[in-house]
Amino acid sequence: MARKIQAIRGMNDILPDQSSVWLYLEKTVAEVVKSYGYQQIRFPIVENTDLFKRGVGETTDIVEKEMYTFEDRNGESLTLRPEGTASCVRAADQAGLLFNQVQRLWYTGPMFRYERPQKGRYRQFHQIGVESFGMATADIDAELIVLSARLWQKLGLLEHVELQLNTIGLASEREAYKAALVDYLTEFKDQLDEDSQRRLSTNPLRILDSKEEATQAILQGAPSLDAFIGEESQSHFERLQTILKANRVPYVINRRLVRGLDYYGKTVFEWVTTHLGAQATVCAGGRYDGLVEQLGGKPTPAVGFAMGIERLVLLLETLSLIPSEAKFSADVFVVSIGDDAEVASTTLAEQLRENLPSLVVLRHCGGGNFKNQMKKADRSEARFTIILGQDEVEQGVCQVKDMSTGEQQTCAFEDLPAYISGNL
């Protein structure tokens, strides 16, 4: 036997019993974002490597060690997108959608990062991202957060997630803070974990969210970012909080929250849960007023967030929050005995689908004896089985068996849709 080829480590198949949960989640998101006026944008999975180097930042974890980068046949350096924001900006700007305009956009699809695979962390994972452009005031930051809260509420997740909020100020404020932080941490350099030592010269802010206890202990005495936040950033942050309070969205302020991507400024936030172990963040985002310009566009204020579909699916499953309507199940199973009945069963099934489009109508294919077909009907868990033999075809009727009671009724072809919808 030929050796079977396996999927790439950290890249999962989404099998039929899971895909119904994905569809439910995606449908719910699509409805919620639409109600706020967001339109979908789709962009390629592969981009020029420079887009992410410049967009996400050279010293971020993503660019330093997580990207799937390769040369195409022309020797051009391409990268499988590790996130959506940079591509979204590239696509929207390239189409002239950003300058002097307001845009509300969302996207969904696979992202690729070379990380250590574990529960809630994969090498191909999926995000739904929501981005807004052209709005500089805190009411749009609030809109995005309220939108996400509405989504959690619809999914039954609101009480299982916590909103963490911070402001990381303007670039100049962060620079001043970075200098103070590096000053302080340099004294303790030898006691920092290896990653943090490296970040001291590359990306010192990221040291704040180090998971190492020794590093966290040293950080206790470090200067605090909020002392460096200027008037403009502070009032933006307060305005955001006022609107969140008016909309009864609870939050906690986490002064250590900095986010791992370079483009953020002012607002940053994460929705975290206690139900998923170390992979606790299900949704994260913030303001990135500098990114469009950094990628060659005109200065354009922007805010957005992205959520991890796998983590949300895990959370819904862990908490048993998947409604029964979301699960796939057959409603009607059609069996037929004999050549004429087989043909008639195809048109009868079509008639049902035409009249009752939300129904799942399964036809038994490939003939076989009655007993076997009925076994399959049983296994399908369909509520009704339609039975057609030569006699039925000649009389223009079928037998309808209610699988929950075992009762069987004769029904004329033309009456079948009404009978099924009336008895479901």
Q: Is 392 annotated as a binding residue?
A: no
Mask for 264-283, x = binds ligand ATP (CB under 6 A): ---------------x-xxx
Burial 399-417, CB ≥16 within 10 A → b, else e: bbbebeeeeeeebebeebb
Which C-beta is closer to ligand ATP: that of 61 or that of 342? 61
Member of 52, 122, 228, 264 binding ligand ATP (CB under 6 A): 122
Q: Is 83 annotated as a binding residue?
A: yes
Q: Residue 52's closest CA among 88, 92, 99?
A: 88
Which C-beta is closer to ligand ATP: that of 109 or that of 260? 260
C-alpha to C-alpha distance for 69 and 79, rounded to whole angstroms: 4
| DSSP 3-state of 170 | coil
C-alpha to C-alpha distance for 424 and 421, rounded to whole angstroms: 5
Which C-beta is closer to ligand ATP: that of 314 or that of 359? 314
Element (DSSP H or E) covering residue 313:
helix 309-318
Residue numbers 145-204 binding ligand ATP by CB under 6 A: none
Member of 26, 64, 115, 193 binding ligand ATP (CB under 6 A): 115
Stretch that binds ligand ATP, among 29-37, 174-182, 192-200, 304-312 (CB under 6 A): 304-312
C-alpha to C-alpha distance for 232 and 170, rounded to whole angstroms: 9
Q: Smallest distance, Å, CB 309 to ligand ATP?
A: 8
DSSP string across 365-414: -S---HHHHHHHHHHHT-SEEEEE-HHHHHHTEEEEEETTT--EEEEEGG
What one-letter code names the amino acid at 202? T
Strands (E), 31-145: 39-40, 46-48, 68-71, 77-80, 103-112, 124-133
User: Order of strands, edge to edge, in the sheet holding 124-133?
Assistant: 39-40, 103-112, 124-133, 302-308, 281-287, 267-272, 162-167, 252-253
Residue numbers 42-101 binding ligand ATP by CB under 6 A: 83
Stretch that binds ligand ATP, among 67-75, 163-171, 187-195, 307-315 (CB under 6 A): 307-315
Q: Smallest distance, Å, CB 319 to ligand ATP?
A: 16
Member of 54, 113, 266, 287 binding ligand ATP (CB under 6 A): 113
Which C-beta is closer to ligand ATP: that of 232 or that of 317? 317
Number of residues that bind ligand ATP (CB under 6 A): 19
Cβ neighbour number for residue 258 with a 10 Å cutoff: 21
Query: Which token pair is 110?
Result: 């696979």
Tracing tokens 């908490």 back to the chain, one arrives at 319
Question: By CB under 6 A, is residue 389 in contact with ligand ATP?
Answer: no
C-alpha to C-alpha distance for 269 and 145, rounded to whole angstroms: 9
C-alpha to C-alpha distance for 270 and 291, rounded to whole angstroms: 20
Counted residue by residue, the chain has a size of 424
C-alpha to C-alpha distance for 256 and 60, rounded to whole angstroms: 17
Which C-beta is closer to ligand ATP: that of 209 or that of 402? 209
Q: Smallest distance, Å, CB 5 to ligand ATP?
A: 23
Member of 225, 306, 314, 393 binding ligand ATP (CB under 6 A): 306
Which C-beta is closer to ligand ATP: that of 270 or that of 331? 270
Member of 109, 223, 260, 389 binding ligand ATP (CB under 6 A): 260
Q: Is 239 annotated as a binding residue?
A: no
Member of 81, 160, 311, 401 binding ligand ATP (CB under 6 A): 311
Which C-beta is closer to ligand ATP: that of 156 or that of 260? 260
Q: Smallest distance, Å, CB 343 to ligand ATP?
A: 49
Please give the C-alpha separations between residue 351 and each of 252, 329, 356, in angstroms, as whole numbers.
56, 20, 8
Q: Is 131 annotated as a binding residue?
A: yes
Q: Smallest distance, Å, CB 123 to ligand ATP?
A: 7
Which C-beta is closer to ligand ATP: that of 83 or that of 131? 83
Residues annotated in the binding site, as ranges?
Answer: 83-85, 113, 127, 131, 259, 263-264
Contacts with ligand ATP, residue ranges (CB under 6 A): 83, 113, 115, 120-122, 125, 127, 260, 279, 281-284, 306-308, 310-311
Residues annotated in the binding site for L-histidine, as ranges?
Answer: 83-85, 113, 127, 131, 259, 263-264
